[in-house]
Amino acid sequence: MENRHVISVLVENKPGVLARVSGMFSGRAFNIHSLSVAPTIVPDVSRMTIVTYGSEAIIEQIIKQLRKLINVIKVQDLTSGDYVDREMALVRVKATSAKRADVLRIVDIFRGKIVDIATDSMIVEITGGAGKIEAMIELLTPLGILELIRTGTVALPRGRKSPRYSEPTE
Amino acid sequence: MKINGAQILLRALKEEGVDTIFGYPGGAVIDIFDAIVRYFSDDFKFILVRHEQAAVHAADGYARATGKPGVCLVTSGPGGTNTVTGLATAYMDSIPLVVFTGQVPTPLIGNDAFQEADIVGITRPCTKHNYLVPKVEELAHTIKEAFTIASTGRPGPVLLDLPKDMIQAKTKFDYPKSIEIPTYKPTLKAHPPSIARAAELIRRAKRPVIYAGGGVLTSGCHRELLTFVQMTGFPVTMTLMGLGCFPGTHPLSLGMLGMHGTYRANMAVNHSDLLLAIGARFDDRVTGRVEDFAKDANIIHIDIDPTSIQKNIKVDVPIVCDAKDALERLIEALTLEGRHKETEEHTRNWHAQVNAWRNEQRLRFDRTSDIIKPQYVVEKLYELTQGKAIISTEVGQNQMWAAQYYLFDTPRTFLTSGGLGTMGYGFPAAIGAQIAFPDKVVIDIAGDGSIQMNIQELATVKQYNLPVKIAILNNGYLGMVRQWQERFYDNLYAHTDIMVAPDFVKLAEAYGALGLRATKTSEVEPLILRALETRGPVIMDFVVDREEGVYPMVPAGAPIKEMILV
């Protein structure tokens, strides 16, 4: 059974660390569906969010192999608990004046934003879980998607004791 | 007082207790070589090899024979890339090495400068860790980290890349006695509940087998293993990497298991109800078809590396720790409460069964042959050295015959590239071991193919007058591949015939060593005696039966009980 796992990895913010992590994945034939990385509030620590698919045995190996890397501080499989994950996409969609209203309606439903507009296209910004982004892409496709970029998932575990707040999802 | 990076490096090596450096000079490291001769000539034995690959293998042989990290120093670019095979060899077999490579000056990095290679990028997947040291202020600390990482936990090679301007820059030398690496904390102590569960399985076992690997040697717990066996009466099989961790001549030794293991070892594992794996990683050459491997057994797996556990085989009781700690705790537990009475009865029956397997199928070859049998050569080497030599091997048939016919009673006397299977490993490894133990007999058991992969090191043994002996089992073939072609590829010997080879006797002489040749069985013993009496390097060229095979054999991917016996 191949399941989706969201793995959060705290690493030292040093040259070559991304290469160590991605090299470990490719060298051992593990899959990376998406990977995002940026510094945390501690400047010499970065957080990676890796989305991968695999059997329990493969995921166990991935986590152990990540922990074995010298520059890795902490590895958490978020999928084993409660977590929040988000992704952002920018979509350049065909929008001649006749079709602009259609685009705006879809964007509005998904609480997206128009961040650029030209005579015959617009760039839509959307944030949400992977499902929401895929749903919007599906609806925009008939109008003509010219270009698309996704950030890949970023995620954090939910707090255990603090009051629960989660952004409304669709 | 400020000193330059070159001197900092060498002072740090002194602090680490390094006495030998294997290497090869070049433009990027010229300052370090200058400092070695100018200021540190009394502190280090420097061994100038003839190819950087051999420097790493020699340091590896030194490390395997002594247990101390081996140290190499080579130049940038090709100097570094030539170390890759050596690093990968050491990485697969968990051998502690610290390898220093020169690098072009920092302002030139990335500019495709002369003799520039991204060696940190190239060696990332074949080192335990590696560093580019950009500032001289970080050098001492990084060296301390490198030695710590290389020699603790599951050991492995660490590479430090040293830009030339950093080596020339100066700072104060301040070497830390010990350091904390917050992100690196190997688990050394066993988890008590796991020990309790393991001890209970051990008490109840009726058909137990210990499967001991290289981790026993790394951990230095061969004495604890012997004590444990004396307490429990469990028979022991060893991996290729584990040979020597338990006396090969002990009545409870089953010899090696796996593809070319003994019949009794494979049968015992196959029929066991408890398999106690210590410092072994269930390599495919050991397990054969994993679904059938020890399928009636409870498996206890002791390993310091968590990634080894549940990687190839589902185990019942994983114990992540230093093997020594686990064995000590298990001995303690069994001292408090011994094995169940009725299981001791079962153990006696089990011993009888194991002995029956031993007698049913012993390792054998044609002892009447006038043409030299390679197994006979190894057996004679064993006899005539009283089993006390340090043996290195190349890879292939020579390696398997050495593993089968030389019985190792002492740890760290068998040096072989087990994981990577590196042809060309044995001779330089023998050099490293001979430097560590100048008075011991060190023999490289080689094939005519493998020996040609680092034959240039004859100049090194000559230069340092090292009495390394090379025994070439010369069959004019890349024998192991030929054997597979014979068995599985309809005798089509695709490019494995290497009859065009140098005259090894003349080659030895060309390098100023002694060359001897035997072509008949009767010549083997006198030739070995003569070689052993010679105080200097010797090549023994044994012209052996061309198509002799290594048996028993488990075809790749078959269950280990399905042995081709011949």
Q: Which residue of A has its CA nearest to B187?
A: A68
What percent of chain B lies above the pLDDT cut of 90?
Answer: 97
The answer to whether residues B165 and B194 touch, using CB atoms and an 8 Å cutoff, is: no
A84-154, superfamily in CATH? ACT-like. Chain A, domain 2 (3.30.70.1150)
Instruction: Look at A70 and B181 and tell me if their CB atoms are within 8 Å.
Output: yes
Q: Inform me whether the pLDDT recorded for B295 exceeds 60.
A: yes
pLDDT for B82 equals 98
SS3 (DSSP) at B60: helix
Average pLDDT of chain A to the nearest whole number: 93
User: Can you give the pTM of this predicted structure?
Assistant: 0.95
pLDDT for A164 equals 52
What is the nearest CA distance from B306 to chain A, expressed in angstroms? 7
| Tens of pLDDT, residues B20-59 | 999 999 999 999 999 999 999 999 999 999 999 999 999 9
For residue A30, name the pLDDT band (cuts at 50, 70, 90). very high
> Is residue B121 less than 8 Å (CB to CB) from chain A?
yes
Please name the residues in contact with B441: beta carbons below 8 A apart, sequence gap of 6 or more: B385, B388, B389, B390, B467, B469, B532
| Tens of pLDDT, residues A48-99 | 999 999 999 999 999 999 999 999 999 999 999 999 999 999 999 999 999 9
| Tens of pLDDT, residues A127-160 | 999 999 999 999 999 999 999 999 999 999 998 6
* Chain-centre distance for alpha carbon A114: 20
**Residue count (chain A):** 170
The number of C-beta contacts closer than 8 angstroms across A and B is: 36
pLDDT for B538 equals 98
Q: Inform me whether the pLDDT recorded for B328 exceeds 60.
A: yes
Cα separations in angstroms, B78 against B84, B111, B116, B155, B158: 10, 16, 8, 26, 18
In degrees rounded to 5, what are phi and psi of residue A36? -130, 150
Q: How far apart are CA B37 and CA B41, in angstroms?
A: 5
> Is residue B185 less than 8 Å (CB to CB) from chain A?
no
Query: What are the residue boundaries of the structural domains of chain A, listed by start?
Result: 3-81, 84-154
Q: Which residue of A has its CA nearest to B149?
A: A70
Rounded to an integer, the average pLDDT of B463-490 is 97
SS3 (DSSP) at A24: helix
| Tens of pLDDT, residues B63-121 | 999 999 999 999 999 999 999 999 999 999 999 999 999 999 999 999 999 999 999 99
CB-nearest partner of B183 from A15, A16, A70: A70
What is the nearest CA distance from B397 to chain A, expressed in angstroms? 29
Q: Inform me whether the pLDDT recorded for A170 exceeds 50.
A: no
Q: Which residue of A has its CA nearest to B312?
A: A57
The answer to whether residues B384 and B532 touch, using CB atoms and an 8 Å cutoff, is: yes
> Is residue B183 less than 8 Å (CB to CB) from chain A?
yes
Q: How far apart are CA B495 and CA B477, in angstroms?
A: 9
Annotate B195-244 with DSSP letters as a single string: HHHHHHHHHH-SSEEEEE-HHHHHHT-HHHHHHHHHHH---EEE-TTTTT
In degrees rounded to 5, what are phi and psi of residue B159? -115, 135
What is the nearest CA distance from B378 to chain A, expressed in angstroms? 38
Please name the residues in contact with B553: beta carbons below 8 A apart, sequence gap of 6 or more: B259, B260, B483, B487, B563, B564, B566
* Chain-centre distance for alpha carbon B279: 14
CB-nearest partner of A73 from B124, B149, B183: B183
Strands of B274-278's sheet in order across: B253-256, B236-238, B208-212, B274-278, B298-303, B317-320
Tell me if A3-81 shares its fold with A84-154.
yes
Tell me which H or E stretch contains B149: helix B139-151
Chain A residues touching B125 at Cβ < 8 A = 23-24, 27
The answer to whether residues B53 and B423 touch, using CB atoms and an 8 Å cutoff, is: no
Which residue is it, tokens 């006749």? A98
Instruction: Look at A19 and B121 and tell me if their CB atoms are within 8 Å.
Output: yes
For residue B345, name the pLDDT band (cuts at 50, 70, 90). confident
> Is residue A64 less than 8 Å (CB to CB) from chain B?
yes
Tokens of A142: 């008939």
Average pLDDT of chain B to the nearest whole number: 97
> Is residue B386 less than 8 Å (CB to CB) from chain A?
no
Please name the residues in contact with B355: beta carbons below 8 A apart, sequence gap of 6 or more: none
Q: Is B564 left (phi over 0), alpha (psi -120 to 50) or beta?
A: beta
pLDDT for A109 equals 94
Which residues of B are catalytic, by number? 52, 114-115, 164, 480
Instruction: Look at A71 and B183 and tell me if their CB atoms are within 8 Å.
Output: yes
Tokens of A25: 């994945």
For the purposes of burial, counting CB atoms within 10 Å of the CB of A55, is it exposed (0-12), middle (13-18) or buried (19 or more)?
A: exposed
The answer to whether residues B316 and B299 touch, using CB atoms and an 8 Å cutoff, is: yes
Which residue is it, tokens 């590479």? B159
Q: How far apart are CA B489 and CA B481, in angstroms?
A: 10
What is the nearest CA distance from B79 to chain A, expressed in angstroms? 22
What is the nearest CA distance from A64 to chain B, expressed in angstroms? 5
Chain A residues touching B184 at Cβ < 8 A = 70
Nearest to B445 by CA among B383, B403, B388: B403
The answer to whether residues B244 and B412 touch, using CB atoms and an 8 Å cutoff, is: yes
Which sign, positive or negative, has the C-alpha torsion B140, B145, B148, B154?
negative
For residue B409, name the pLDDT band (cuts at 50, 70, 90). very high
Q: Inform me whether the pLDDT recorded for B13 exceeds 90.
A: yes
Q: Inform me whether the pLDDT recorded for A20 exceeds 90.
A: yes
Instruction: Look at B121 and A71 and tell me if their CB atoms are within 8 Å.
Output: no
SS3 (DSSP) at A122: strand
pLDDT for B442 equals 98
Q: Inform me whether the pLDDT recorded for B341 exceeds 90.
A: no
Q: Which residue has the higher pLDDT, A167 or A85?
A: A85
Which sign, positive or negative, has the C-alpha torsion A21, A27, A28, A30?
positive
For residue B347, name the pLDDT band (cuts at 50, 70, 90). confident
> Is residue A56 less than 8 Å (CB to CB) from chain B?
no
Instruction: Look at A24 and B182 and tell me if their CB atoms are within 8 Å.
Output: no
For residue B426, name the pLDDT band (cuts at 50, 70, 90). very high
Cα separations in angstroms, B467 against B295, B341, B394, B510, B563: 48, 54, 18, 16, 39
Tell me which H or E stretch contains B348: helix B341-360
Q: Which CATH number fits domain A3-81: 3.30.70.260, 1.10.274.10, 3.40.50.360, 3.30.70.20?
A: 3.30.70.260
Chain B residues touching A70 at Cβ < 8 A = 128-129, 149, 181, 183-184
CB-nearest partner of A27 from B125, B132, B149: B125
| Tens of pLDDT, residues B199-211 | 999 999 999 999 9
Q: How far apart are CA B38 and CA B36, in angstroms?
A: 6
